[in-house]
Amino acid sequence: MSVAKRRLLIWGGLLALLVIGIGYALRPQPIHVDLAVAETGTLRVTIDEEGETRVRDVYTLHAPLRGQLQRITAEAGDVVTAGETLLAQIEPAAPAFLDIRTEAEQQAAVEAARAAYNLAAAELNKAKADLTFAEGERARARLLIERNTISRRTLEDAERAHNVAQANLATAEAGLKVREHELHQAQSRLLSRNEIRSRGDACECVAVTSPVSGLVLQVMRRSEGVVEAGTPLLDIGDPADLEIVVNLLSEDAVRIKPGQRAIVTGWGGDDLKAVVRRVDPFGQTKISALGIEEQRVDVILDFAVPPEQWRSLGHGYRVDVKVILFEGEVLKLPLGALFRQGDTWTVFVMEQGRAHVRSIVVGQRNNLSVEIREGLKSGEKVVLYPSDRIKDGVTIIQR
């Protein structure tokens, strides 16, 4: 073989190898993807929200009247008995200080009352003198009538005058007592705080007892001091009678009905079962952390397990609540495998190493999985989180 042919053979071989290498390098590469398998399993659809435990019936003890509250010694957690446990005592409060003008007015009122008393005393003396004179006139008239010296009419006038004098005396005595009490009333308005305090031993305190049996939940006013009527003092309730309140968005609350099951988590113990008892018929406007107005509705739940399992919970404890809307055995897929094509849900199914678009019909869903009603069979593999590189018929390989 000549040198020219040998060179041609060598360079031709190298060129062929180069072409084959370039072709191999430029061939379509399968796209690495994550796959999920359609399988039958339990799908649970819930509405999740934070809740709060509370005693079903909380009794707030209020001050029944204005007065000086003695220091409350009860502590949160103390056991109380209805009608027996003394929780607070209220005694009369000292009056307010008198300013100069008010004190002068009260002094003038005392002097006026004293003058009225003296006037009543003088009228009493006059009434006594009139009665004494009337008694003398009546005695003379009775003596003269026996001698037929005066007429019967004169005797009757003397009797009447005596009766009038007696009535005037009784009126004067009553008037004197009225003026005496008015004087004492005016003088009492000038009593100093020290004098009132020295007489306080004779005053009766109002005892405030527990209206129900249970535990003291909270002491809202402990220190001694003046309280107004209606001031809250303590909260009392039975921690063994707890319920759960969850504040849900109104669009979630309309999907909940009484009797639906729920799961209580995030309270520091094992999961607890609960049942929806009531959905409040009114909503409340609240501002979210982002400053958005929201309509929220309170949903009340009862525990569906023995109290021994949640005994450590108390009034106002935080819990996580999952209200179950649906739970059953279904064919399901991870939610990340689905995407929309128009109004249809679709997935990429792996068949013989290639991705093929397939329309499906979905049912119930939660944040992670979705029910597949039509379009897939159990065991089929679909592309999870498909990118824009995935097309119908493209070659794929599991990552």
Section 38-47 average pLDDT = 93
Confirm or reject CATH 2.40.420.20 for domain 27-43+330-398, answering yes or no.
yes
Q: pLDDT digits over 172-217, tens only?
A: 999 999 999 988 888 887 777 666 666 655 556 888 899 888 899 9
In the chain, the amino acid numbered 94 is A
Question: Phi and psi of 66, rounded to 5°?
Answer: -75, 140
* 59-93+203-237 has the same fold as 46-55+239-328: no
Please tell me the pTM assigned to this model: 0.66
Superfamily of domain 46-55+239-328: Efflux pump adaptor protein, beta barrel domain (2.40.30.170)
The answer to whether 274 and 259 are in contact (CB under 8 A) is no
Higher pLDDT, 90 or 195: 90
pLDDT at 282 over 70: yes
212: helix, strand or coil: coil
Section 286-315 average pLDDT = 91
pLDDT at 304 over 90: yes
Handedness of CA 38, 39, 45, 48 (dihedral sign): negative
Which tokens is 168 given?
């005037």
**Which H or E run contains 113?**
helix 100-146
Higher pLDDT, 9 or 100: 100
Alpha carbon of residue 333 to chain centroid: 42
Q: At what angle do helices 100-146 and 152-188 cross, to 10 degrees?
A: 160
Instruction: Tell which phi-psi region holds residue 148, choosing left (phi > 0), alpha (psi between -120 and 50) or beta.
Output: left
Q: What residue segments make up the domains of the chain, in order of their start?
A: 27-43+330-398, 46-55+239-328, 59-93+203-237, 100-190
pLDDT of residue 346: 94
Section 355-375 average pLDDT = 92
pLDDT at 26 over 70: no
Question: Which residues make beta-bridge pairs with 387?
Answer: none
C-alpha–C-alpha distance, residues 277 and 296, integer Å: 17
Pair type for strands 79-80 and 214-219: antiparallel
Which tokens is 161 given?
């005058």
Q: pLDDT digits over 146-180, tens only?
A: 777 778 888 788 889 889 989 998 999 999 999 99
In the chain, the amino acid numbered 215 is L
Least confident of 13-22, 259-268, 285-294, 295-304: 13-22
User: Which of the following CATH numbers is that of domain 59-93+203-237: 3.60.21.10, 3.30.830.10, 2.40.50.100, 3.30.70.100?
Assistant: 2.40.50.100
As a whole-number percent, the residues of the chain with pLDDT over 70 amount to 94
C-alpha–C-alpha distance, residues 380 and 391, integer Å: 18
